[in-house]
C-alpha cells in the first residue's frame, strides 16, 4: 500500500518569533521515505482578484454606445467605420469586459465615448471594490487597447472608499502633468520603497500594439528585500513585520484609476478628428491575498 493513502497530517504553528500573520506553518507528511516536515507560510493563497471586484465607472454616460457612436484609431485615423452601440451585444463595450477571462481568445474591452467635447477634458474614474482588505502579491497590470493614457493616477483606499490616497502617478511628462520629478520603480531603495512616484515609463506613445500594459510595480519593490529573482521571500516577510508602513503600502480595500488624458499618438490634439481619442481597457489584473 502506498504510504500517502493513509496520510497523517499534523499542522503546527511555530510561534518562535512574533511574525504576525506570517507565522511559519509546517505539516508532518508521511511519505514512502517516512515522515517529513513541510514548511510554508501561514497565510491565504494569492488569487486573481479581478473575478471578485465590483467596478464603478464615472461619470455616468462615459461608457460608449448610448447613443451609438463611430470611432477610429490613432493608427488609422481616417477609417472611422467602427461603431460602439450599447444596444447591440456585438458592438457594446460595457465595464465588465475589463474583468472577463477572454477564454475564446477574442479580446473584449470596456470603451469610453470619444473626445468630441474637446477642449473639455475627457476623464473617467474606474473604482474597483472588494469589500475586503487585500495585500498585493504581484504587479497590478492594466491593459489598454488603442494606446495608453498620457496622464493618469492610480489611487487606493484602505477604508472601503471613505478616503483615498495617490498610489502612483503616470504621465508622458511628470513635471508638466503633476509638477513631480519622474522616477522609476526599479530605482527605489529600502529607504524610499514606500514613496509615491510619478513614472513616465507607461505613458509615452510607442504605437498602440507594442506596449499595452500599465503596471504598478510590486515585484521590483519586493526585490529590494527578496533579491532580484524573489528567492528570499522570508527576507521580505521579516521586513513586512519590522519596517513601519511597508505592509500598509501593499494593502488596500479599493483601487481607483483616474484617467485624465487619453493617448494622443505622440502629437498634439488634432481637433479635426476627435473620434480617435478615447480610452479602452481589456484587462485589469490584480493578484493579492
Among 22, 52, 130, 164, binds ligand NAG (CB under 6 A): 164
Told to check if 59 binds ligand NAG by CB under 6 A, we report yes
- Nearest distance from C-beta of residue 272 to ligand NAG, angstroms: 25
Distance separating alpha carbons of residues 42 and 241, to the nearest angstrom: 14
Q: Which of residues 193-222 bind ligand NAG (CB under 6 A)?
A: 195, 197
On whether the CB atoms of residues 124 and 95 are closer than 8 A, the answer is no
Query: Which is nearer to ligand NAG, 157 or 203 (by Cβ)?
Result: 157
Exactly one of 27, 125, 220, 251 binds ligand NAG (CB under 6 A); which one? 125
Between CA 120 and CA 217 the distance in angstroms is 32
Residues 116 and 274 sit within 8 Å (Cβ to Cβ): yes
State how beta strands 165-171 and 198-199 pair: parallel
Name the H helices within the chain. 174-178, 219-226, 233-242, 246-249
| Residue from 19, 148, 212, 258 binding ligand NAG (CB under 6 A) | 258
CB of 213 vs ligand NAG, minimal distance in Å: 22
Q: Between 31 and 131, whose beta carbon lies closer to ligand NAG?
A: 131
Least Å distance, CB 198 to ligand NAG, is 9
Q: Does 159 bind ligand NAG (CB under 6 A)?
A: no
User: Of the ranges 69-77, 85-93, 124-132, 272-280, which one interacts with ligand NAG (CB under 6 A)?
Assistant: 124-132
113-117 LR contacts (CB < 8 Å, sep 24+): 113/61, 113/62, 113/63, 113/64, 113/69, 113/278, 114/64, 114/69, 114/71, 114/274, 114/275, 114/276, 114/277, 114/278, 115/262, 115/269, 115/274, 115/277, 115/278, 116/274, 116/275
- Cα–Cα distance, 140 to 286 (Å, whole number): 5
Provide the minimum distance between the beta carbon of 191 and ligand NAG in the complex, in angstroms, as a whole number. Answer: 6
The smaller minimum CB distance to ligand NAG, of residues 56 and 231, is found at: 56
Write down the least CB distance from residue 10 to ligand NAG, Å: 32
Which residues sit at the interface with ligand NAG, rule CB under 6 A?
58-59, 123-125, 131, 164, 183, 187-189, 192, 195, 197, 258
Amino acid at each position: 500500500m502506498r504510504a500517502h493513502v493513509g496520510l497523517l497530517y499534523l499542522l503546527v504553528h511555530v510561534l518562535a518569533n512574533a511574525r504576525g500573520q506570517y507565522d511559519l506553518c509546517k505539516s508532518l507528511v508521511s511519505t514512502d521515505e517516512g515522515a517529513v516536515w513541510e514548511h510554508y507560510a501561514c497565510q491565504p493563497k494569492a488569487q486573481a482578484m479581478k473575478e471578485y471586484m465590483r467596478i464603478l465607472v464615472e461619470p455616468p454616460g462615459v461608457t460608449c454606445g448610448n447613443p451609438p457612436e463611430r470611432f477610429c484609431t490613432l493608427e488609422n485615423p481616417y477609417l472611422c467605420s467602427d461603431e460602439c452601440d450599447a444596444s447591440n451585444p456585438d458592438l457594446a463595450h460595457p465595464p465588465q469586459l475589463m474583468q472577463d477571462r477572454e477564454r475564446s481568445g477574442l479580446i473584449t474591452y470596456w470603451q469610453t465615448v470619444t473626445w468630441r467635447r474637446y477642449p473639455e477634458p475627457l476623464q473617467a474614474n474606474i473604482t474597483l471594490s472588494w469589500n475586503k482588505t487585500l495585500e498585493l502579491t504581484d504587479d497590478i497590470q492594466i491593459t489598454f487597447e488603442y494606446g495608453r493614457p498620457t496622464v493618469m493616477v492610480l489611487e487606493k483606499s484602505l477604508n472601503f472608499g471613505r478616503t483615498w490616497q495617490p498610489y502612483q502617478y503616470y504621465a508622458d511628462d511628470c513635471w508638466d502633468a503633476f509638477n513631480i520629478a519622474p522616477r522609476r520603480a526599479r530605482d527605489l531603495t529600502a529607504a524610499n520603497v514606500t514613496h509615491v512616484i510619478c513614472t513616465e515609463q507607461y505613458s509615452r506613445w510607442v504605437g498602440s500594439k507594442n506596449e499595452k500594459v500599465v503596471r504598478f510595480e510590486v515585484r521590483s519593490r519586493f526585490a529590494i528585500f527578496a533579491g532580484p529573482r524573489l528567492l528570499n521571500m522570508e527576507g521580505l516577510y521579516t521586513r513586512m513585520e519590522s519596517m513601519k508602513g511597508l505592509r500598509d503600502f501593499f494593502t488596500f480595500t479599493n483601487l481607483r484609476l483616474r484617467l485624465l488624458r487619453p493617448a494622443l499618438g505622440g502629437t498634439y490634439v488634432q481637433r479635426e478628428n476627435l473620434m480617435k481619442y478615447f480610452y479602452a481597457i481589456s484587462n485589469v489584473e490584480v493578484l493579492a491575498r
